[in-house]
Chains A and B, each alone.
Chain A
Amino acid sequence: MRVALLATALIDELSQHPISFQPPMDVRKATPLMKSALATAQLCLERAAPPKDASMSLVVGSSLGEIEVTKDFLIHFSREGISRPFLFQNSLHNSICGFLTMVLNIKGPSITVSHRFTTAECALNTAKLMLDARHPYALVICGEVMVKEFLPGYSRIYPKDLKLKSGTAAAVLTTEEEVTRLNHSPLAWINKISFEKGVEGAPMSEYYDSDGLEKIILALGKNSTEASGSPLRRIVLPKPDFLRSIIEI
């Protein structure tokens, strides 16, 4: 089953793009990951321009989730013996997803997935599965926030040369039928995502666990709706642990 990639967005593109808030939603207490996910999602939706009445699924992929908030909850509890309800509700992996459904008024399925180094691929496959006549569009957001205090711990988990960072990427997918019906111009078609194990060569550049979506967007070239007609047929993403994913487009 192939699906169309209608639009993409990266958090790095957003320095000039203000986050718009839908009243009466108050996002002052949103976490940094929630805010970056929202901003990236809004830019992506603006580019995809799905029909206003279309039912949309939301799939959020995050390996580490709201780890910074979880750390804050645990530290407050350990040092003060106080558990803070706001930190608890925001510590859950799916709080980003719940937050986005509220601000973006998404009432279709909203699913959070987490799959370590292949979290983005898991999110894309989940979104592909959710696409059907009932929910013909899917917004996929992948993101991580890096906790600086934990870097000495992470440096023993990840390959030494890897520069760990925070990041957020978004994509809107739709069905073949919807592309035909509304004459969409997809950036690319995603046919299949597969994995190879036991291969040499980990990623050498900046990295976060769910950066697969960002890497796909960068490989496709140009993070804008003008990037149609990509000549790429296959994107290979090296991962830690002698693993790589292969995205056939």
Chain B
Amino acid sequence: MNQSEVAIVATGCVSCVGPSADLTWERIASGCSGIKNGRGEIPNSIDNEFELFADFPEHLREHRAAALVSKSLKEVIAKAGWEKEWLNEDTALVMATTGGQITLWENQVAPFLDSRIDAEVFSSALRFQSLGSIIEFIREQFSFAGPSYLVTSACSASGQAIALATRLIQTGEVQRCLVGGFETLSLLTVEGFKSLRLVSNETAKPFDVKRNGINLSEGASFLALEVSDEAPIKVLGYGLSSDAYHLTAPQPQGEGLVRSMTLALDHAQLRTQDVDFIHCHATGSMANDLAEGLAIRNLFGEDHPALSSTKWAHGHLLGGSGLIETLISVHSLKNQAFIPCLGLVNPDPQIPLNFEKRPSRLHTVLKTTLGFGGNNSSLLIGIRP
């Protein structure tokens, strides 16, 4: 069991920035944001570029989440060069989400309870309430026959999913793994986050003194993991922890995040000075960015690595956020290109970090996530020298 052998061999993505992993990367690298009026919505169609429901079963045209997942899954499988027959017991599927296919049923609850629709109509929507329904879709549409998991740990779901996927390969349970994160904009999440006063109507400004909230967004991203000596980018280690502090607020000093980052470094047998870039969770919310910033300062000190958050570009995909951000980190390593935090103009003086710092090389990236319920995940990916 050699953790350095788990490699990230391909990426797939549909985001509000672009309809593929490469386009999402290229546009973010050139400073484009997919956020409009504080949200990252994906239209069903973009002229000459994208049709969400092209090659998608006619009877599933309402299934936006499944369509997003399907597109990015097709992309990652094709880029990994995996044959259809490989989607068997030797390949695992680990999915991450918060809302799942919620848009298929949330609007039917009140009409049913107010007797405006009958039980038959309601039941056809209700069957998608169980988050595992997306796994059934993938099994059916992709003839997928391997072991499957669905993680729903709020904004840390993707970080945990990548850790599980890595572990599945390291323990020899499977040879390869598809790990994906997805989210769609829904009434529950949009109105729910508004009620918590966490939503910004402008493009998010992570770590900025004038940050005023998050940009909810949608999309789906996948990574293909397998044992490979040739593929250059590896999962080096991970660390997971809980704050045991509050349901929606992080521990103010980021103590839980410090523990998860320390666990990840130990797992990867790396020192703090080996990290070149921290791809922060940094949502643009007051509490998250402060706790995360203090945690980084506490662990890494004054001489911390270069820092960025890319939520100004793709928004906050909740359960899917760690996936798209890990994907961007993979492309950063491949292209040896650092993406600065463009939403940040005036750093918050309460966060004692140097955001001007740029990495002299990109060998190792630390990807952090913090989630409701006090979940923290830290993932180290990099090029093993």
Q: How many residues of A contact B (CB 8 A)?
A: 62
Q: Which positions 106-157 of chain A face chain B at CB distance < 8 Å?
A: 106-119, 122, 125-126, 129-130, 134, 149-150, 152-157
B150 touches A122 (CB 8 A): yes
Are A75 and B126 in contact, CB atoms less than 8 angstroms apart? no
CA distance A98 to B150 in the complex (A): 17
A88 interface residue, CB < 8 Å from B?
A: yes
Contacting residues of chain A (198-221) with chain B, CB-CB under 8 angstroms: 209
Q: Judging by beta carbons under 8 Å apart, are B150 and A105 in contact?
A: no
Of A6-14, A65-73, A162-170, A230-238, the segment with at least 4 beta carbons within 8 Å of chain B is: A65-73
Tell me whether B150 and A115 are in contact (CB under 8 A).
yes
Contact, CB under 8 Å: A152 / B149: no
The answer to whether A109 and B240 have CB atoms under 8 Å apart is: yes
Give chain B nearest CB distance to A186 CB in angstroms: 20
B210 — which chain A residues lie within 8 A by C-beta?
A: none
Q: Which residues of B contact A106 (CB under 8 A)?
A: 242, 244
A91 engages B188 (CB within 8 Å): yes
B187 interface neighbour in A74, A75, A113, A152, Cβ under 8 Å: A74
Indicate whether B274 reaches chain A with its CB closer than 8 angstroms: no
- B337 at the A interface (CB under 8 A): no
Q: Is the CB of A115 within 8 A of B191?
A: no
Asked if residues A126 and B109 are in contact (CB atoms below 8 Å), the reply is: no
The residue that A114 contacts in the complex, of B131, B267, B371, with Cβ under 8 A, is B131
Q: Is the CB of B126 within 8 A of A150?
A: yes
B122 close to A (CB within 8 Å)? yes
Question: Does B229 have its Cβ within 8 Å of any Cβ on chain A?
Answer: no
Cβ-based interface call for A222 (8 A): no
A94 touches B152 (CB 8 A): yes
For the complex, is B129 an interface residue (Cβ under 8 Å from A)? yes
Count of A-B residue pairs with CB < 8 Å:
189
Q: Helix, strand, loop or mixed for chain A's interface?
A: helix
B112:A153 contact, CB within 8 angstroms: yes
With contacts A1-B171, A101-B374, A115-B148 known, is A109 near B196, CB below 8 A?
no
Contacts of B195 in A (CB 8 A): 83-85, 88
A89 touches B372 (CB 8 A): yes
Q: Which residues of A contact B109 (CB under 8 A)?
A: 70-71, 74-75, 78
Docked Cα-Cα span, A195 to B191, in Å, equals: 39
Type the 1/0 row for B333-365, where 1 means its CB is closer than 8 Å to any CB of A: 000000000000000000000000000000000
**Residues of chain B with a CB closer than 8 A to A119's CB:** 132
CB distance from B192 to the nearest CB of A (A): 3
B369 to chain A, nearest CB (A): 13
A223 interface residue per 8 A CB criterion: no
Contact call A107/B150, Cβ cutoff below 8 A: no
B243 within 8 A of A: yes
Given A91-B188, A95-B372, A153-B126, answer yes or no on A110-B153 (Cβ-Cβ < 8 Å). Answer: yes
Q: Is A93 interfacial (CB 8 A cutoff)?
A: yes
- Give the chain B neighbours of A104 by CB distance below 8 A: 244
Task: Report yes or no: B240 in contact with A116, Cβ–Cβ below 8 A.
Answer: no
- Verify if B151 is at the interface (C-beta below 8 Å from A): yes
- Which of B160-168, B284-292, B305-313 forms part of the interface with chain A? B160-168
* Bound Cα distance A139, B157 (Å): 18
The contact string, 1 if C-beta is below 8 Å from chain B, for chain A 55-85, is: 0011000011101001101110111000111
State the Cβ distance, A217 to closest chain B Cβ, in Å: 22
CB < 8 Å neighbour of A110 from B123, B136, B164, B373: B373
Given contacts A77-B191, A94-B153, contact A152 B119 (CB under 8 A): yes
Q: What would 15 more interface pairs be, CB under 8 Å, given A93-B152, A122-B148, A125-B149?
A: A71-B109, A84-B195, A88-B195, A89-B196, A89-B247, A89-B248, A97-B153, A98-B247, A102-B244, A106-B242, A107-B242, A115-B148, A153-B112, A154-B123, A154-B126
Interface residues of A (CB under 8 A from B): 1, 57-58, 63-65, 67, 70-71, 73-75, 77-79, 83-85, 88-95, 97-99, 101-102, 104-119, 122, 125-126, 129-130, 134, 149-150, 152-157, 209
Closest 4 A/B residue pairs (Cβ): A98-B373, A88-B192, A116-B132, A78-B110
A–B Cβ pairs within 8 angstroms, 9 of them: A74-B188, A77-B191, A93-B152, A104-B244, A105-B244, A109-B241, A114-B130, A115-B131, A155-B123
